[in-house]
Amino acid sequence: MHGGPVRQMLPAYHYMQFYHWAYGINQWLANQGYIVMSINYRSGIGYGRSFRTAPNTGGAGNSEYQDVVAGGKYLQTRADVDPNRIGIWGLSYGGLLTSQALARNSDIFKAGVDLAGVHLFGSSLDPAAVSYKSSTIGAIDGWKSPVLLIQGDDDRNVAFPTGLVQLLRQRDVYYELIVFPDDVHESLLHSRWIYTLGRMETFLHKFLWETPVRTTN
């Protein structure tokens, strides 16, 4: 899942910062045997003003998540996809949508990799607030699937996910946490991206290749 949300994934090598890595990661996953779908969800760019300014996005309702779950449900219908082995990954706003998917639809998304994701819109912890209901934290009780969390401890864009980790631990949800010391929102070191790829490979292989068993009727 791309970040932003004022961004767009392209069907070829991307010209922007992190996004050339995102394209490369998707291509690498495909080469590993995964069926990869990249979603340009509402509130992104490239599809006109009405798409960019879609109502009730973000903390006003997180309507863009509807595009994510629709993508997951579409994958479940494909003959070349095992519906019990669907995963998700994303960075920044894409990490937010990854955590949303795991919290709201662990029945569809069986594992996820959340890189520097946002988990609470605004600062309100009032369960009645729309921003709280729109957040991952507001749906935390539904989170069942394992997650790999990766973030730099000098991230100036997104708060460090200590609160989320505590909530996952309280609910006995499996998680792995990788912290890059003195690193920022989008890692600056090539070596850390290579390390991230290796950890993603191990994690996804563990939960999407080895653990699930295809069900039969």
Sequence spans of domains, the chain: 17-210
User: CB-based contacts of 162: which residues, under 8 Å, 6+ apart?
Assistant: none
Q: Which two tokens stand for residue 18?
A: 């992190």
148's enclosing H/E stretch is strand 147-152
CATH topology of domain 17-210: Rossmann fold (3.40.50)
pLDDT tens sequence for the chain (217 residues):
777 766 777 776 656 666 777 788 888 899 989 999 998 888 787 788 887 887 877 777 677 889 999 999 999 999 999 999 999 999 888 888 999 999 999 999 999 999 887 777 777 777 878 888 878 888 999 999 999 998 776 555 666 566 788 899 999 999 999 888 766 666 667 787 889 889 999 999 999 987 554 443 3
Question: pTM of the entire structure?
Answer: 0.85
- Euclidean distance between CA atoms 94 and 80, whole angstroms: 25
Compute the radius of gyration of the chain from its Cα atoms. 16
Nearest CA to 116 among 144, 89, 145? 89
